[in-house]
Structure 1
């Protein structure tokens, strides 16, 4: 039915151009056999296994560095931040390569093999003691890794970062490209995030438990198997994917707009004709915002017959640049938020290492890194409740839906609440340490305080709920607001937030450690609670900045007299 209507509309629009229309319809028929829900198990299956791989090696990296490489705890968190930052930065590279040159399929296939190489070599470091420093047995200071051992470790981490970073968000965009209607895209993103968080829960519980209790080589070996399965699954769907042909670098057109506008900065726009794309039938009117860039699309005699050059661009290219400029302040308001989340995750692991991690009265001991799975589990459950119960019920009762911006704002608020709760838990832990005279006993990792680490469940749950609002809201907002040519880049912007945020958290951690006595390798001798209060205060200020940016932001659909609230958020 929809196809017949589309065919009818095309014929009415082109009239006598019947042959051209027939050719385009043949192309449509050819592509209609690909994509859709047929590709769903291949893309989601490969994303599941690759996420299991990533969680298995990155989730327990701090503990691996401390226990196997004799790295001091605070330094281990900083190394972890840099690694996560790099892993989150490479999706931008993957998005550019995908959008501009090779397409999503080639990029994902290549980076998944790089990931497999990295995790395989990581398994070797756990299998051969010569690749690590001697164990630290009741002596201080412990032997540090040699330059060669550090070199091997960092090379492996680099490969894993490139591989995992280059596949995660490119997979998200490729999956969305398989569907033509916004409702299916929304449902896809809903399932994508659910599977993503569920895989993180599994990796940060089962795989990390194997690493801590069975052996690091076995744990990393499981990751190798998962990565291999992911590669096979993804390649198996080759004949079913709808492949979007790269149209050249969209960033080139952005640069052309800026250069063309600068060249024509003295040209008057009065009585001048604008250059529209030859395939653009809508001939949109250039907007009044950032009107300086409109000069790039002005036609003057010196442009000759060229429709696209470094002195002449199209109106659509000008408007695409304006869209990016408008959204950047709002995007920047989440950088600090990402940094706060990174510091929270690191400190939670250190807190867990210094608390009683036994479950009840049993001998079962929860791995320290597995506590982050509580955060992820809370996020997964909250996403399901929000999109399948709470949001539909809210819309039915009030008649209006919650927008992506509102989801992000709620995430900001809950993030601050989570940091405050973490500070309260740390105050209680330090009081218990003082009551048992555990202050000043160790120069290395903190002596375990007889207080249940299950207290960390409260701040972790709150932070998990906040992320259920934040990240789906962000990726939905950017996907609908970014120009079509930058769709892969739009989803990778979330990853860029994580990258910049974790780099920022590394800087903040270093500054706090150098300028105060609050952060110690032995948490019992520091004041982590004050650090949490400081982070909460920063979160409040950052939320104010977000409100200002949100107030000034105008949705792209506003210019078309459409209500952004009608756009599906996640299905």
Structure 2
């Protein structure tokens, strides 16, 4: 949904309208879910003791799932657009480049955004869950619905305050035009002087900045070579002749994709905090403390780290590649967190062999280090992709940050499935037996350390050779 919403916002509706529509859909969805949880007629009757529980009727299912999916669509669509829209309020109108104060403001914004998001998730996972469990599901959902309603009303009422940029058409169409024009001019030779390439008109665009020519991926410059045939084909010119800016936008995407892939691999390690780390906690001595509650420790640590970042790091002295440096710190500390988890699991297994239970506090260090990693990479990633992506694709760039999380979880699940099959072949116990004390979760953690270190090496190579986007 974030990818779809960003595409619609960047191409057709604009970010502001997309946010208003998405929040409105979410309000309807939350109202339906709250109604479903409140009215007895929309719920199955309570189960009597030692009797069969009546299943939900078709109408009850339709009402409940309609609300759930409307929430998913509405919130998902605006998730990435919100981030990009707020950052646009800080952009300088003259498009002459990012000054120190603007850079500082954006660094502060992205870090505060992620800190507040973590506090919100912590609140939802503790206070609201307590209300739903101890008081009423309907009241819990109603509180959520009130928050979404207030957000939609405030956003609609404060429209004059914002810098609202119009959409300029699908950015993917421009990329396809470059590739199509390039394919028609494969036999041409790129001129040595870039001034001979087609620069485009001088009409100012409030969204699209004109980019400087770069020498990387020079073969794509063929799409901007002016031929006699181009001069006589005004109607089809966009698919035959592209501007230097269009070509540079495609080059920018080609530079961003490999770095984005390293972020996806990073989340193979990051997702362990919500999965295998929790499994470790279920085998500790402190049965009164829910193992899943340890994720709250990470959330709090993320908020604390980002607060310290805002106070000590986000200053004009930061260099241009500071976002990449933050991402590098995230990659490196993820390997450290997994190494700590492997040592802790090895200790737990030794104690289990002696019929002893390890205290749950031993798991705190790996959560704290992973929190530092999460804060560094997530904030650096958002800032980097927003600043380096083409202006027409900033919503999409934020959506791809969320997509990296999804891909990382998918890769992790496939790795677990594969390793479980390989290590249990031939009747062996394997690394992931139903009884965790008989397996070797520590080996899997070491495997993730190796994957993370290799991914970090690739990231460092990409970061060192990265060519920043330059605005004319």
What interval of TM-score do these two structures reach, taking the shorter chain for normalisation? 0.7 to 0.9
Name the SS for the 2:160 alignment partner: coil
Partner SS for 1:333: helix
Unaligned runs of 5+ in 1: 1-89, 359-364, 438-449, 561-571
The answer on 1:335 being equivalent to 2:264 is: yes
CA distance in structure 2 between the aligned counterparts of 1:424 and 1:547, rounded to whole angstroms: 26
Separation in structure 1 between the aligned mates of residue 362 and residue 197 of structure 2, nearest angstrom: 63
Q: Which residue of 2 aligns with 1:95?
A: 6
Tell me, in whole angstroms, the C-alpha distance in 1 between the residues paired with 2:13 and 2:448: 42
| Structure 2 residue 334 is matched with structure 1 residue 415 | yes
How far apart in 1 are the matches of 2:213 and 2:91? 27
The 3 A distance-change label for structure 1 pair 338 and 280 is farther
Does 2:24 match 1:113? yes
SS of structure 2 residue aligned to 1:423: helix
| Structure 1 residue corresponding to 2:449, chosen from 513, 523, 536 | 536
**Greater alpha carbon shift after TM alignment, 461-470 vs 117-126:** 117-126
Asked whether 1:547 is paired with 2:470, we answer: no
Mapped to 2, the partners of 1:205 and 1:294 lie a distance apart of 55
Q: For the Cα contact (< 8 Å) 1:257–1:318, is it kept in 2?
A: yes
Counterpart residue number, 2:197: 274
**1:41-73: CA deviations, max 9, x gaps?**
xxxxxxxxxxxxxxxxxxxxxxxxxxxxxxxxx
Partner of 2:222: 295
CA deviation string 1:192-216 (max 9, x = no partner): 2232222223223322344555565
Change (3 A) 1:391 1:185: closer
Deviations 1:249-297, CA, capped at 9 Å, x for gaps: 1111011000001011123445994322212699876433212211111
Aligned to 2:76: 165
**Residue aligned with 2:239, SS:** coil
Supply the distance in 2 between the matched residues of 1:426 and 1:257 (Cα, whole angstroms): 52
Residue equivalent to 2:98: none
Structure 1 CA distance for aligned equivalents of residues 306 and 115 of structure 2: 7
The verdict on how the C-alpha distance between 1:286 and 1:346 changes in structure 2, with shifts beyond 3 A counting, is: same
The aligned counterpart of 2:299 is 376
Q: Hey, what does 2:151 align to over in structure 1?
A: 230
Equivalence for 2:255: 326
1:96, distance to aligned residue in structure 2 (A): 1.0
Task: Give the one of 120, 128, 141 matched to 1:207.
Answer: 128
Which residue, 242, 263, 279 being the options, matches 1:313? 242
Report the Cα distance in structure 1 between the residues aligned to 2:290 and 2:313, rounded to whole angstroms.
33
Change (3 A) 1:329 1:521: same
Counterpart position of 2:309: 386
The two structures have a TM-score, normalised by structure 2, of: 0.81
Match of 1:20 in 2: none
Q: How many angstroms does 1:402 deviate by?
A: 7.1
CA contact (8 A) 2:211 2:469 kept: no
**Equivalent pair of 1:201/1:374 in contact (CA under 8 Å):** no
Normalising by structure 1, what TM-score?
Answer: 0.68
Matches within 5 A, 1:239-254: 239-254=160-175
CA separation of 1:419 and 1:119: change in aligned 2, threshold 3 A? farther
User: Given the superposition, is the C-alpha separation of residues 309 and 392 from structure 1 closer, same or farther in structure 2, using an over 3 Å criterion?
Assistant: closer
* 120-129 vs 232-241, greater mean Cα deviation: 120-129
SS at match of 1:239: helix
Q: Secondary structure at the match of 2:90?
A: coil
Please give the per-residue CA displacement for 1:474-505, whole angstroms capped at 9, x wherever unaligned: 11111221122222222222112112212222
**Quick one: distance in 1 between partners of 2:441 and 2:45?**
30
Distance in 1, matches of 2:173 and 2:229, equals 22
Structure 2 residues without counterparts, runs of 5 or longer:
93-101, 424-429
* Separation of aligned partners in 2, 1:433 and 1:132: 44
Report if aligned partners of 1:209, 1:367 keep a CA contact under 8 Å in 2. no
- Structure 1 residues 223, 529: closer, same or farther in 2, change over 3 A? farther
Displacement of 1:382: 0.9
Higher alpha-carbon deviation: 376-385 or 336-345: 336-345
Q: How many residues align?
A: 442
Distance 1:546 1:431, change over 3 A: same
Q: Tell me the alpha carbon deviations over residues 199-248 of structure 1, each in whole angstroms, 9 at most, x when there is no partner.
A: 22322332234455556555444333333333233223233222111110
Give the whole-Å Cα distance in 2 for the aligned partners of 1:265 and 1:429: 62
Determine if contact 1:212/1:367 at 8 Å carries over to the other structure.
no
- Is the 1:418–1:463 Cα contact (8 Å) retained in structure 2? yes
In structure 2, the CA distance between the partners of 1:156 and 1:423, relative to structure 1 (3 Å rule), is: farther
Taking structure 1 as reference, are residues 204 and 129 closer, same or farther at Cα in structure 2, changes over 3 Å only?
Answer: farther
Query: Counterpart in 1 of 2:86?
Result: 175
